[in-house]
Amino acid sequence: MMISKFLDESLITVSVEQKEKPVIIGELLDLAFRSGKISDRDAALKALLDREKLMSTGLENGIAVPHAKTAAVKDIVMAFGISPGGIDFHSADGKPSQLFFLLLAPENAAGPNVQVLAQIARLTNLESFRKELIGARSPAAALEIIRKAEY
């Protein structure tokens, strides 16, 4: 399942500016909310923050994948952000997070949801992909890097 099909330039920021985890999640969520794909922003935010309470979605190697199931979306919704300098996201390796893949999925789409999460894991496992993506200077450039990695 290719993640590029869930992204367009309006869903990407290459300059995540916030420093606090809930605010970063809110910033990315706003990208998706403005696209009109989320019916209830507060419910979506609560689902994402509830998931963070279980364990931080800050992984290793500068990757963060805030995600949740919510009735506030009818289909899988993604947003993507880059913080070139990195932000403390309580990551697994204690290092700053630079690439943020936000994913919301409806309650009844476990199959596609799992496939998308797996695709994020596979892509971000590649050091060359991570480096190139961190260096993207525009949403268009970031999207092109993701597409190129998937084809």
Partner 1 sequence: MAVDGLTRNMLVYVDGSEECIAAAQAAIIMAKKHSANLFALYVVNVSLLEELLKARILVKLEEMDYRQDLERDGRRYLHYVAELARKKGVEMHTELVKGVVNREVVKYIQEKGIDLLFMGEFETIRSAKDTHYDEAAWIFRKAECSILIVKQTDKIERIYNNLE
Q: Does 59 engage in binding with partner 1 (CB under 8 A)?
A: yes
Between CA 55 and CA 75 the distance in angstroms is 25
Q: Is 67 a catalytic residue?
A: yes
The enclosing H or E element of 30 equals helix 21-34
- Strand partners for 104: 68, 77
Q: Would you say how long the chain is, in residues?
A: 151
Nearest distance from residue 146's CB to partner 1, in Å?
A: 12
Nearest distance from residue 66's CB to partner 1, in Å?
A: 11
Q: Does 128 engage in binding with partner 1 (CB under 8 A)?
A: no
The whole-angstrom distance between residue 9's C-alpha and the CA centroid of its chain comes to: 14
Residue found by looking up tokens 């309470």 in the block: 53
69 and 106 Cβ atoms separated by less than 8 Å: yes
Q: Does 54 engage in binding with partner 1 (CB under 8 A)?
A: yes
Q: Residue 12 or residue 120: which is nearer to partner 1 going by CB?
A: 120
Q: Does 23 engage in binding with partner 1 (CB under 8 A)?
A: no
Tokens of 17: 């500016």
User: Candidates 19-27, 33-41, 52-60, 78-86 — which segment interacts with partner 1 by CB under 8 A?
Assistant: 52-60
Nearest distance from residue 151's CB to partner 1, in Å?
A: 4
Sign (positive/negative) of CA torsion 73, 141, 4, 124?
Answer: negative
Q: Does 44 engage in binding with partner 1 (CB under 8 A)?
A: no
Binding site for partner 1 (CB under 8 A): 1-2, 51, 54-55, 57, 59-60, 65, 67, 92, 108, 110-111, 113-115, 117-122, 125, 149-151
Q: What residues are annotated to the active site?
A: 67
